[in-house]
Structure 1
Amino acid sequence: MAPITLIIADNHTLVRAGFRALVEELPGVEVVGEADNGREALVLVESLKPQLVLMDIAMPEMNGLEATARISHDFPQVRVLIVSMHANEEYVYQALRSGASGYLLKDSGLKELEIAVRAIARGETYLCPAVSKYVVKDYVRRLESEDTPLDHITPRQREILQLIVAGKSTKDIADILYISAKTVETHRAQLMDRLDIHDIAGLVRYAIRTGLVVLE
């Protein structure tokens, strides 16, 4: 039987090394790549075509929630297991809304990691016990009823909003995304219009409140 292939996305080198060591103990599971931010994870997913991504949430340039949403949209055959230190219901909800197939806390044991990886590889959804009992009912209710302004901005606009919150200048954003400074300014103006927020401080507060940006 072919191994389950996965990549590890976390901006901490020692954390990635620890996860690699744990995963390599699991029979029939193979680590094929590592990424230190969400943008790099997308590149690796496109080039390596793994079955699964172990994804942290708080990463620079593009966080794990946005990367998960992109993977879910562009590579629906690739499944994402969020591995985070955050047990807060809102983070779990945002992860599932972004398209994650599972959520695991970083202090989980090897056996739970194995259960999660194999369940998700089979096409199932996995939530670790520490968060699942608080989340499922609320998640289903909110998913059926909630419509937020974030649903009405484009992936590019979400990406630019994250970079604005990260303190990047218009020129920095243009260089990172390979677009013109004028295009960045246009996207920023559209963001402010759609969210009805008209200053950078307001955008920062909104992005943090909605879980689009996660502070370490």
Structure 2
Amino acid sequence: MKKRILVADDHAIIRDGLRQILADTDDLEIAGEAVNGNETVARVRERDWDLLILDVSMPGRGALELIKQIKSEKPRLPILVFSMHPEEQYAVRALRAGASGYLNKEADGTLLVAAIRKVANGGIYLSPFVSEQMARELMPGGGGEPLPHKRLSDREFQILCMLAAGKAIGEIADELCVSVKTVSTHKTRILHKMGMHNAAELIRYAIEHELV
């Protein structure tokens, strides 16, 4: 019996690409799709899935918040995050939130199928980079003083990455379905926590630490 997979991604080309790749397998099938956070939650509640493949950058709620909610309702549902963002941005945070794997969208088809199979069968997929990052955090002392961006909440970190990518506050508010005032408040907190004074410093920091 094939593993039933739910794909949550707002880009049709990604959903179609995944469907085509898995069409050549005997044990995996895309059995459902969602294009935003609310639809993802609704589809998860409809039936028992064997795997959720989740994009980080869908409109609405952040993926990290979404992972936490889904795991609270369906703790046995494995989640593989499939993202265009570098691993340094979200991988460790996604795993902490409850995901069982994180894969960059630049991965080739063979690696993608292997990661999907592993997570769908109850395993955990970690790239060498993510494995090293998590191992460092387990070392005595936590691998040293945490970098400023690691002190941010998941939502603050998401907004930091969006600001660093050059998005305006109004654009971020629209994408996250929140008010401009809320984004501005988050920006003020981010600057305070990171000991910075303006967006230019945030962008410079993000580039230096490969967050964009």
Q: Could you tell me the TM-score, scaled by structure 1's length?
A: 0.67
Q: Secondary structure at the match of 1:160?
A: helix
Is 1:171 the counterpart of 2:170 in the alignment?
Answer: yes
Q: CA deviation at 1:33?
A: 0.9
Quick one: distance in 1 between partners of 2:180 and 2:5? 39
Quick one: distance in 2 between partners of 1:185 and 1:51? 39
Structure 1 unaligned segments of length 5 or more: list them. Answer: none
Q: Secondary structure at the match of 2:123?
A: coil
* Partner in structure 1 of residue 201 of structure 2: 202
Structure 2 unaligned segments of length 5 or more: list them. Answer: none
Is 1:107 the counterpart of 2:108 in the alignment?
Answer: yes
* Partner in structure 1 of residue 23 of structure 2: 24
* Partner in structure 1 of residue 33 of structure 2: 33
Q: Secondary structure at the match of 2:200?
A: helix
Q: Cα deviations across residues 18-43 of structure 1 (Å, max 9, x unaligned)?
A: 221112333343321154xxxx2x33
* Partner in structure 2 of residue 181 of structure 1: 180
Q: Cα deviations across residues 156-215 of structure 1 (Å, max 9, x unaligned)?
A: 32333233234333333344444443333222111110111111111123334445x44x
Q: Cα deviations across residues 94-118 of structure 1 (Å, max 9, x unaligned)?
A: 5144214234562242xx5444223
* Partner in structure 2 of residue 157 of structure 1: 156
The answer as to whether partners of 1:97 and 1:143 remain within 8 angstroms in 2 is no
* Partner in structure 2 of residue 5 of structure 1: 5
Quick one: distance in 2 between partners of 1:157 and 1:92? 15
The answer as to whether partners of 1:119 and 1:126 remain within 8 angstroms in 2 is yes
Amino acid at match of 2:7: I
Quick one: distance in 2 between partners of 1:169 and 1:44? 26
Residue-pair matches, total: 193
The answer as to whether partners of 2:3 and 2:120 remain within 8 angstroms in 1 is no
Distance 1:179 1:125, change over 3 A: closer
Q: Secondary structure at the match of 2:167?
A: coil
Paired-residue identity, %: 30
In angstroms, what is the RMSD of aligned CA positions? 3.6
* Partner in structure 2 of residue 119 of structure 1: 118
